[in-house]
A and B are shown apart, each in its own frame.
Chain A
């Protein structure tokens, strides 16, 4: 659905923030995009939505170059940015003005989501709190039903019950035709939703695997001190959690935070294990 090919990007007079990024995003998935601050996550998302143009390489959506900004392309992509300005009009007016750009927009879905988020159509957007504005945008972003939905730190500014609501709403809105990319530092908020992990570091793509594959190859937990075989990365000296090559151990739930730290510390080893066993299972 979305392909990036040898994508490079830098801001004027700065070193590259993205180097040779090759990605292939497929429908039916929720991608988690991770990376330390300033590693190019938001830049990549802006390129995917046509707000920035790559310096070299290309980014295509269903075979069409995104930077051409053709209506056929843009009507099927929606971005919920981390920071945004919304006009001082009512939510209802906002919907009325913006929904026309999206042929698959569902009015019913939008107003149901507003209700779920305890917002009223007559409310003036500029009078709302940051979290409430974000909810307006999230509700709109889901209701436009674009094939590609990009979310930059969607849970920032949401209170605790809203985070749970957000997960429910997301779980309900995924379908096989949609592709969702969530960039976030709030790993705990979203780990149960994501099914594919992408990690950027030093301007490069250092990890790109489905969680199914990760659970197949890696084991997460507290291993006893005697059991050090296949140890890749561990945290804390005493009873700390660690990542191991799974080998014949039982399946464990992926600890995204641990995976992230493990990949940053041992990118080559983790990727080697992911690849090696790939051959193993094929035999």
Chain B
């Protein structure tokens, strides 16, 4: 994993979990890799990985079955969806708006670009 050097690594690990959950690679209720496995996968100190696990547990995205391991919560997918939607609306969008006004791009232009993108996808 390549790290963005401004965001805390534990939060980047959290994002990696979110991606796996949103893409359904990790299904609700299914077991996820252990702290040690994640630390190895992303080449970090296990303490950093533990911090990511604790953070996700606090948000009830994952839960711990003592002695067995960590699992995606039963409503883990919707929880992550809510978190990421909120993040998009509160952080990504204001940034986009700021860029738009700096570059003098109006909402019309954005709309056209969006429609074009949709057409190309189809």
Please list the residues of chain A having a beta carbon within 8 angstroms of any beta carbon in chain B: 28, 30, 164, 167-168, 171-172, 174-175, 192-195, 215, 220-221, 251-253, 255
B15 nearest CB across to chain A (Å): 13
Whether the pair B45, A195 counts as a contact (CB closer than 8 A) is: yes
Q: With A30-B45, A171-B45, A253-B3 in contact, do A215 and B8 touch (Cβ < 8 Å)?
A: yes
- What's the Cα separation between A175 and B39 when bound, in Å? 12
* Closest B residue to A253 using CB positions: B8
B55 nearest CB across to chain A (Å): 12
A275 nearest CB across to chain B (Å): 23
B48 nearest CB across to chain A (Å): 7
Whether the pair B40, A174 counts as a contact (CB closer than 8 A) is: no
Whether the pair A192, B8 counts as a contact (CB closer than 8 A) is: no
Whether the pair B6, A192 counts as a contact (CB closer than 8 A) is: no
For residue B101, CB closer than 8 A to chain A, the reply is no
A32 nearest CB across to chain B (Å): 11
- What's the Cα separation between A271 and B49 when bound, in Å? 28
Whether the pair A167, B43 counts as a contact (CB closer than 8 A) is: yes
- What's the Cα separation between A171 and B9 when bound, in Å? 14
Please list the residues of chain B having a beta carbon within 8 angstroms of any beta carbon in chain A: 3-9, 36, 39-48
Whether the pair A174, B43 counts as a contact (CB closer than 8 A) is: no
Whether the pair A172, B6 counts as a contact (CB closer than 8 A) is: no
Q: With A171-B39, A172-B36 in contact, do A192 and B45 touch (Cβ < 8 Å)?
A: yes
Q: Beyond the given A172-B36, A172-B39, A172-B40, could you list 18 further A-B residue pairs with CB under 8 A, ordered by the A residue number? A: A167-B43, A167-B44, A168-B43, A171-B36, A171-B44, A171-B46, A175-B46, A192-B3, A192-B44, A192-B48, A193-B45, A194-B45, A251-B8, A252-B6, A252-B7, A253-B3, A253-B4, A253-B7
B50 nearest CB across to chain A (Å): 11
Question: Which of these, A164, A194, A252, contacts B43 with CB under 8 Å?
Answer: A164
B residues less than 8 Å from A252 (CB atoms): 6-8
Considering residues A171, A221, A255, which has the most beta carbons from chain B within 10 angstroms of its beta carbon?
A171
* Closest A residue to B41 using CB positions: A168
* Closest B residue to A164 using CB positions: B43
Whether the pair A253, B36 counts as a contact (CB closer than 8 A) is: no
* Closest A residue to B44 using CB positions: A192
* Closest B residue to A171 using CB positions: B39
- What's the Cα separation between A192 and B7 when bound, in Å? 13
A132 nearest CB across to chain B (Å): 21
